[in-house]
């Protein structure tokens, strides 16, 4: 293999977190006297961080008129609700454990790079049984800027002590594709995630793979 490290997005790539995110989002809306939204709609709001998720979840009722105070209130409620259920309905995608285990056997360094806040990411990795695979975790509040900025992926490479050219990224969205491209890192996409409702086949990526296990085989062949 020509790669020394692999960096993974979390939501929509390693874990299906939509059920928990939707429950917390709708709990927030109900507490703010709004009707629940469909899970499929909420899924299109995921990917650019919690603040973006909350703002977009308030938009059907408040639109662009949502005040900073309303968004802060929504965030406070969402955080409280999500802390209570984080991981309850989350599932590890097929092929994840197999792929991560093979990389670990090959002594490839691994990191999670996510826009999810640290206070949710670390407990979720522990609860899902994936934490022990990773040498580093970069969260939405680790760096000054989130994906699609390249900074989080570049920081992940620094933590792993590898050059970007010797790493590959696996993600599920435009955020991952743009960030990895700007960082000079090979990037693969899985088709089952949360690309804001859009197909990954239009993303500027080096390959589309059915699973994390398939991503490892791709990396071994390239």
Residues 6+ apart with CB under 8 A from 97: 130
- Strand, helix or coil at 209? coil
DSSP-based three-state secondary structure for 107: coil
Whole-number Cα distances in Å, 211 to 52, 89, 165, 183, 193 = 27, 20, 22, 23, 11
> By the 8 A CB rule, do 59 and 42 touch?
no
Catalytic residue, from 9, 11, 20, 176: name it: 9
Question: CA distances (Å), 28 to each of 82, 135, 137, in order?
Answer: 9, 34, 28
Q: Is 9 a catalytic residue?
A: yes
Q: How far is CA 30 from the centre of its chain?
A: 26
**188, 169 in Cβ contact below 8 A?**
yes
Query: Nearest 5°: phi and psi at 144?
Result: -70, -25
Question: Among all residues, which ones are annotated catalytic?
Answer: 9
């Amino acid at each position: 293999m020509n790669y020394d490290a692999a960096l993974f997005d979390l939501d929509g790539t390693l874990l299906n977190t939509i059920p928990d995110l939707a429950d917390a989002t709708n709990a927030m809306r109900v507490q703010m006297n709004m009707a629940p939204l469909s899970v499929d709609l909420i899924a299109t709001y995921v990917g650019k961080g919690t603040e973006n998720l909350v703002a977009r979840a308030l938009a059907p009722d408040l639109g662009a008129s949502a005040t900073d105070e309303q968004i802060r209130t929504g965030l406070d409620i969402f955080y409280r609700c999500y802390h209570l259920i984080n991981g309850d309905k989350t599932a590890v995608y097929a092929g994840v454990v197999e792929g991560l285990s093979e990389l670990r056997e090959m002594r490839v360094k691994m990191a999670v790079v996510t826009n999810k806040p640290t206070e949710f990411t670390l407990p979720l990795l522990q609860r899902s049984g994936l934490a022990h695979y990773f040498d580093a975790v970069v969260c939405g509040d680790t760096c000054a800027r989130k994906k699609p900025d390249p900074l989080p992926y570049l920081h992940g490479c620094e933590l792993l002590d590898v050059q970007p050219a010797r790493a590959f990224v696996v993600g599920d969205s435009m955020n991952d594709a743009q960030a990895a491209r700007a960082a000079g890192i090979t990037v693969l996409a899985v088709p089952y995630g949360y690309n804001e409702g859009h197909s990954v086949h239009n993303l500027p990526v080096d390959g589309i793979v059915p699973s994390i296990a398939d991503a490892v085989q791709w990396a071994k062949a390239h």
